[in-house]
Structure 1
Amino acid sequence: MPETPIRRPGGRSARVRTAVLDATLAELTSEGYDGLTADGVAGRSGVHKATLYRRWGGVDGLVADVLSRAAEQPWQVPDTGSLRDDLHAITRMIYTGFTGPDGGATPRNLILAALRSPQGREALTGFFEAHHGLAAETVARAVERGEVPEGTDAVDVVRAACAPLYYRLFITGEILDEPAVRRAAEAALAAARAGAFAPP
Structure 2
Amino acid sequence: MTSRPGGRSARVREAVLEAVHAELTEHGYAGMTVENVAERAGVHKTTVYRRWGTVDVLIADALDHSRETGWPVPDTGTVEGDLIAIATEVADTFADPERRLVPIAIVAAALQSTRALDAKGRFYAARHAEAAQVVTRAVARGELPPQNDPVELVRLTCAPLYHRIFITGEPVDRATAALAALAALAAARAGLL
Shared topology, TM-score over 0.5? yes
Q: Give the aligned partner of residue 153 of structure 1.
A: 149
Question: What amino acid is the match of 1:89?
Answer: A
Question: What amino acid is the match of 1:58?
Answer: T
Q: What is the SS of the residue equivalent to 2:132?
A: helix
Count the aligned residue pairs. Answer: 190
CA deviation after TM superposition for structure 1 residue 117, in Å: 0.9
Q: Give the aligned partner of residue 4 of structure 1.
A: none
TM-score, with length taken from structure 2: 0.93
Instruction: Give CA-to-partner distance per residue, 1:85-134, whole Å, 9 cap, x none.
Output: 00000011111111224261122112221232111111111111111001
CA distance in 2, matches of 1:140, 1:126: 21
Q: What is the SS of the residue equivalent to 2:133?
A: helix
Q: C-alpha root-mean-square deviation of aligned residues, in Å?
A: 1.4
Q: Give the aligned partner of residue 35 of structure 2.
A: 39
Indicate the larger mover: 127-136 or 172-181.
Answer: 172-181
Is the 1:139–1:154 contact (alpha carbons within 8 Å) kept by the matching residues of 2? yes
TM-score, with length taken from structure 1: 0.90
- C-alpha change, 1:17 and 1:103, in structure 2 (3 Å) is closer
- C-alpha change, 1:114 and 1:9, in structure 2 (3 Å) is farther
Of the three residues 46, 50, 72, the one matched with 1:50 is: 46
Of the three residues 13, 16, 34, the one matched with 1:17 is: 13
CA distance in 2, matches of 1:82, 1:103: 28
TM superposition outliers: structure 1 runs of 4+ over 6 Å: none
Is the 1:63–1:114 contact (alpha carbons within 8 Å) kept by the matching residues of 2? no
Is the 2:147–2:191 contact (alpha carbons within 8 Å) kept by the matching residues of 1? no
CA distance in 2, matches of 1:125, 1:132: 11
Question: What amino acid is the match of 1:93?
Answer: E
Is 1:189 paired with 2:180?
A: no
CA distance in 2, matches of 1:144, 1:134: 16
Of the three residues 137, 140, 163, the one matched with 2:136 is: 140
Question: What amino acid is the match of 2:25?
Answer: T
- C-alpha change, 1:112 and 1:9, in structure 2 (3 Å) is farther
Is 1:80 paired with 2:76?
A: yes
Question: What amino acid is the match of 1:155?
Answer: V
Is 1:63 paired with 2:63?
A: no
Mapping of residues 87-126 of structure 1, within 5 Å: 87-102=83-98, 104-126=100-122
CA deviation after TM superposition for structure 1 residue 177, in Å: 2.7
Identical aligned pairs, as a percentage? 51
Is the 1:67–1:123 contact (alpha carbons within 8 Å) kept by the matching residues of 2? yes
